[in-house]
Amino acid sequence: MSDGSIRVVLADDHTVVRAGLKAVLGAARDIHVIGEAQNGREAVAMAERLDPDVVVMDLTMPELDGTAATKEIVQKGLRSRVLVLTMHLEDDYLVPLMEAGAAGYLVKSVADRELVDAVRAVARGDMYVRPTAARVLAQNLSKRAAAQTEHDRFEQLTQREQNVLRLVAQGYSAPEIGEQLFISPKTVDTYKQRIQEKLGIAHRADYVQFALKLGLLAKS
């Protein structure tokens, strides 16, 4: 974008959609569509070969979907920034796509009004999401903060206390836990008392809920 023009690759598996997007962007003198891809694999290849400023990426495409293609572009260290343009509302897809490295997210229903502004914003290094997406991002940050708090609490436990917590959550009794950890059932109860003092949890249901928040039940 050294000369002030923005070079764009369009990635969508529908020819009519690409034509419509090209027409919208064509109305802006500073934006030039330099390539069109029919799937995510082609989008990645064009990002490598043509070095566009922005790749306008559909989410649902054959061979390689928009999320996977975005990840590849980011992992390859390409200069192109990805603006995801999809029919899906933000609730289910915004956060995973931002985590994959997308620089913007726009729903197709407002593309005729916002696409040019979105491409310009992404090209100059900004993030672009609709104001209504702020709620989705805020909820995600809130969930992450809660999970981090739970993780910090878990780290307060000793390694043996963590093992006991995990096994209790998995449904093992004190004698069974004692067998696995080579300690007596009475010692297991002592550890459970310490866990209760540190975390404020006493019943197995509390153990299960706590372990689920941290993904501990998915671990052996």
At 109, the pLDDT band (50, 70, 90 cuts) reads confident
Does residue 148 lie within any of the structural domains? no
User: What is the pLDDT at residue 134?
Assistant: 58
**Domain region containing 24:** 6-136
Asked if 132 and 90 count as a contact pair (C-beta separation under 8 A), the reply is yes
Q: List pLDDT tens digits, range 183-197.
A: 999 999 999 999 988
Question: Region 120-127: what's the mean pLDDT?
Answer: 92
Residues 165 and 59 in one domain: no
Does residue 102 lie within any of the structural domains? yes
Residues 24 and 100 in one domain: yes
> What CATH number is associated with residue 165?
1.10.10.10
176: number of Cβ within 10 Å = 14
Domain end call among 136, 164, 184? 136
How many Å separate Cα 69 from the centre of its chain? 14
User: What is the pLDDT at residue 218?
Assistant: 62
Does residue 13 lie within any of the structural domains? yes
pTM over 0.85: no
Residue 11 pairs in a beta bridge with: 37, 57
Does residue 94 lie within any of the structural domains? yes
- DSSP 3-state of 86: strand
- Report the chain's C-alpha Rg in angstroms: 25
Domain end call among 136, 170, 205? 136
Q: List pLDDT tens digits, range 131-147.
A: 666 565 555 555 555 55
Q: List pLDDT tens digits, range 33-79.
A: 999 999 999 999 999 999 999 999 998 899 999 999 999 999 999 99
Asked if 83 and 97 count as a contact pair (C-beta separation under 8 A), the reply is no
User: What is the pLDDT at residue 180?
Assistant: 94
Residues 126 and 160 in one domain: no
Cα 142 from Cα 156, distance rounded (Å): 22
Residues 17 and 66 in one domain: yes
Residues 39 and 131 in one domain: yes
State the DSSP H helix or E strand holding residue 207, giving kind and residue range, or none if neither: helix 204-214
Residues 130 and 174 in one domain: no
